[in-house]
Amino acid sequence: MPKLKRDLTMEEQLARGPMDLPFLMLVVLLTGIGVIMVFSASYATALNEGHAATYYFIRQGIFAAAGLGLLYVTSKINYQSFRWMSVFVLGFALVLLVLVLVPGIHTNRSDGVKRWIRSIGPIPAFQPSEFAKLGVILYFSARMSKRGSEKKKKFNTRTLSGTLLQKADGWGFTELVPYGVILLVIMLLMKLEPHMSGTILILIPAAAILFAGGVRLGWFALGGAAVGGLLALTMTGYQSTRILVWKDPWAYPKDGGYQIIQSLYAIGSGGLFGVGFGQSRQKQLFIPEPENDFIFSIVCEELGLIGAGLILLLFVMLIVRGYWIALHARDRFGSLLAVGVTTLMAAQVFLNISVVTNFLPTTGISLPFFSYGGTALMIQLIEMGIVLAVSRQIPAPKQG
């Protein structure tokens, strides 16, 4: 006998709605342009390293194709499932942050930095901080979405401790303790790497989710001052040197200022229309690893102010559309997910371009969809898939 088809539940029907096409098209367009720019920016480096000219391009293209596949799969998931997944993703990220500190597991660098877990077989080297960003967004969104629905805690006001806890709860302090503990643990682990830029990219979307969730503004001022003071007190020697270089890179032309000087030369020589695709001179081993964090300077040199401006416009459109999806999400959880992912992308774009133009001190922050890095690109596309999963369940506008 033929099997009877099971009726879809309401949750399954909602998860099968149409995804947001403008958001999807912008993601695909930026990914495609990014892969092409990796080819242009990397072939001189590839040849110098003894590889084929298309070495980085082919690898990035494979990761982009795999990432787009993961984006599609993620977008088909009912995003309510990310609630229970969030605990495991965050736990997995914390385990990776511990493992990267173990000798023999992290990659060896002359400066002693331990940010990457070395490649294992077909698995390429990757930074645990990429998983930490996603884990924090998922967990904070899931927990904050329950705000207001949980029973208020009762304390024994006859005791001093109970009275203090009651006041702290009234000020909204006790609800922030779990979030603060998680962020503090992550900050301490990443301090041991050290990885200040990665820490900042975890704190920004976390703060955005808490803000969107309704946490009082005063706590952000207090928390921001505390985090800023902690980062300043724990700043290492090379981080202090970067600030000196940022203030006057030409005072260190052969040391810390070399990369930013070459980047500014590339941006300036691009002019209005650029020198032409593939015609960059600075990528000819002047800018170190131009396919990575400083790829936007190659974009400016080859495509000029107009081309770079159009790419920035695409990013702005994607960010605005992400927040639009957040505003129209079916529930608070979906809204917080979209806010977290979109804010992370916006912060990463702003910080990367600020570094490339010397608006901010040099940090190891990549440009989403453009900078070479397979694991980072795939995780970014998974994050975009999460936003698309939220967009599938946006309530249809009422007729008439």
Tens-digit pLDDT string for the chain (400 aa) = 445 455 455 555 566 678 899 999 999 999 999 999 999 999 889 998 889 989 999 999 999 999 999 999 999 999 999 999 999 999 999 999 998 888 878 776 656 677 878 777 667 778 888 999 999 999 999 999 987 666 666 655 666 555 555 555 555 567 788 888 999 999 899 888 878 888 889 999 999 999 998 887 776 777 777 766 666 666 655 566 777 777 778 877 777 788 888 899 999 998 999 999 989 999 888 888 889 989 999 999 999 999 999 999 999 999 999 999 999 999 999 999 999 999 999 999 999 999 999 888 877 789 999 999 888 999 999 999 999 999 999 887 765 5
Alpha carbon distance 86, 135 (integer Å): 6
Q: What is the radius of gyration, based on Cα positions, of the chain?
A: 23
CA angle 383, 88, 191 (to 5 degrees): 80
Structure tokens belonging to residue 289: 């690893």
Residue 231 has a pLDDT of: 62
Q: Is 90:138 a contact under the CB 8 Å cutoff?
A: yes
Q: Is 182 within 8 Å of 217 (Cβ atoms)? A: no
In this prediction, residue 193 carries a pLDDT of 81
Q: How crowded is the C-beta side of 390, counted as CA atoms within 13 Å?
A: 32
- As beta bridge partners, residue 251 has none
Q: Please answer whether residues 64 and 28 qualify as being in contact, where contact means their C-beta atoms are separated by less than 8 angstroms.
A: no
Q: Which 8-state DSSP code applies to residue 116? A: -
Dihedral angle at the C-alpha atoms of 230, 236, 237, 241, nearest 10 degrees?
-60
pLDDT of residue 124: 75
| Local structure of 327: helix, strand or coil | helix
Give the per-residue pLDDT at 298. 95
DSSP letter assigned to residue 120: B
What residues have CB less than 8 Å from 139, skipping those under 6 apart?
86, 87, 89, 90, 182
What's the pLDDT score for residue 1? 44
- Separation of alpha carbons 167 and 79, rounded Å: 36
Picking from 148, 116, 157, the residue whose alpha carbon sits closest to that of residue 213 is 148
For residue 398, give the 3-state DSSP assignment.
Answer: coil
Please give the backbone phi and psi of residue 7, each rounded to the nearest 5 degrees, phi first: -65, 140
